[in-house]
Amino acid sequence: MSRLLLIVLPLLVLASIPLYLLVLKSPPPMPKLDLEEWWGPPELKQKQDTSIKPFEITFSETMVKELKERIKKRRPFAPPLEGVGFKYGFNSKQLDSWLKYWAEEYPFAERQKFLNQYPHFKTNIQGLNIHFMRITPKVPKGVEIVPLLLLHGWPGSVREFYEAIPHLTAVSKDRNFALEIIAPSLPGYGFSDAAVRPGLAAAEVAVIFKNLMARLGYKQYYVQGGDWGALIGSAMATFFPKEIIGFHSNMALTLSPAATFLEFVGALFPSLIVEPELANRLYPLSEKYSTLLEELGYMHIQATKPDTVGIGLTDSPAGLLAYILEKFSTWTNPDLRSKEDGGLSYRWTKDQLIDNLMLYWSTKSIVTSMRLYAESFSSRHLNLKLDEIQVQVPTWVLQAKYELAYQPPCILKLKYPKLVNASVIEDGGHFLAFELPEIFAKDVLKAIGEFRKLKNVKTEL
């Protein structure tokens, strides 16, 4: 009998773990948020300007001249090791041609005009001047305009959406709605102010964007996000289910204990967790975790000492270019690491990628952009346990082949129980709207069409 107990008791204990994680464990309480928390200079609190003002991107002659001088006076770079491609980071042999193009051939005035093709605005939310684009399509009678909040991440910007916007806002005889796009720069990114004190993490940014949409007059709207935009959009859907009537993400993930448990179960029995044809996106775990360790070193730096690394990137255009464009290589397709040029022409022109760099360089915002990592990976923010609080909003995910991480629907439903669909595509990587704008837009529009069928009510404006 004692031998039987020695066998049965450990099995019961093991069996109780999934029962507890998946069924019995209560979710943490919903965090209490200060919807008016002030992030700007204290002296401005009593005289906040709440108007919405037109804004224009300007690359001043002084800034451009200084940039060119810095590029010209750069020091020689250490030569790369033989045959490494981008495996050690940005291949220094490629830097000179990129920097020469930036200083001598990049058409600053022409690109400034290109970036201003969409209407830009600023308005002060909780002490911060928040920059955003607002693109409203012209529609015929009977077509409803519905708002979509479009959120970028790091090291991207609103520039990622330029090629997708015409597809997103297109009017079609097959749809009774058209999208109005509101695409803000995250606080501390590009033309949006940065916080003057610690604490502005993803949850607090969610509040700022909820207040931005209220300022613009929207009572209900859809949200789309990748990278930080995915985390912020998920937080918005968690906190504000009355306002968010549909959430689309091209990087939906949950890092709850239950999700981790299921991933490890799948390592033993993959067919229980993931479709056979998609198993290699998640397993073997040893390979996937090895890749993450290799690629997420930047995250540890930015989550702990963003200001230190940011000093060099703020001072050196060569450093900024190498640091950011290496991500546009590796995160687009990991196989590009083996190419000497990083495969940067695989998806984009030099102008497209330098446009994005200019939004960091001209605004000196690389340090403040990276602080979002330090704030969001702080113990205070992690203790909110947002991954363990379910999103009660219809959700749709788009899963690119080369995204940094993948989770199947059975895991995603732990966080997103109202998951409507998971679109799986055999192409694309982390910067999906920038890489495959038409495919991205088509999926977003399809998702919103389905959300509208579920809601079956007219969006309140």
- Does 152 participate in catalysis according to the annotation? no
CB under 8 Å to 324, separation ≥6 — which residues? Answer: 155, 356, 357, 360
Can you read off the two tokens belonging to residue 191? 């033309």
Q: How far apart are CA 441 and CA 110, in angstroms?
A: 26
Which of 401, 444, 439 minimizes the C-alpha distance to 420?
Answer: 444
C-alpha to C-alpha distances, 339 to 334, 351, 425, nearest whole angstrom: 10, 21, 24
Distance spanning both ends of the chain, measured CA to CA: 70
Which of 133, 106, 54 minimizes the C-alpha distance to 355?
Answer: 106
Can you read off the two tokens belonging to residue 227? 């990278």
- Does 430 participate in catalysis according to the annotation? yes
Q: How far apart are CA 316 and CA 361, in angstroms?
A: 9
Q: How far apart are CA 292 and CA 284, in angstroms?
A: 13
| φ and ψ at residue 151, rounded to 5 degrees | -115, 130
3-state class of 390 per DSSP? coil
Q: Considering the candidates 222, 323, 360, 373, report the single residue annotated as catalytic.
A: 373
Q: Considering the candidates 106, 222, 430, 443, report the single residue annotated as catalytic.
A: 430
| Contact indicator for 434, 348 with CB cutoff of 8 Å | yes
| φ and ψ at residue 181, rounded to 5 degrees | -100, 130
Q: How far apart are CA 130 and CA 53, in angstroms?
A: 10
Give strand pairing partners of 398: 423
- Does 227 participate in catalysis according to the annotation? yes
C-alpha to C-alpha distances, 218 to 45, 94, 147, 214, 300, nearest whole angstrom: 24, 47, 8, 5, 37
- C-alpha neighbours within 13 Å on the C-beta side of residue 16: 6
Q: Considering the candidates 193, 227, 387, 443, report the single residue annotated as catalytic.
A: 227
Can you read off the two tokens belonging to residue 179? 């999208």
Q: How far apart are CA 279 and CA 272, in angstroms?
A: 11
| φ and ψ at residue 340, rounded to 5 degrees | -60, -35
C-alpha to C-alpha distances, 353 to 157, 216, 304, 329, nearest whole angstrom: 11, 31, 27, 11
In 269-316, the DSSP E strands lie at: none
Q: How far apart are CA 376 and CA 231, in angstroms?
A: 10
- Catalytically active residues, by annotation: 227, 373, 430
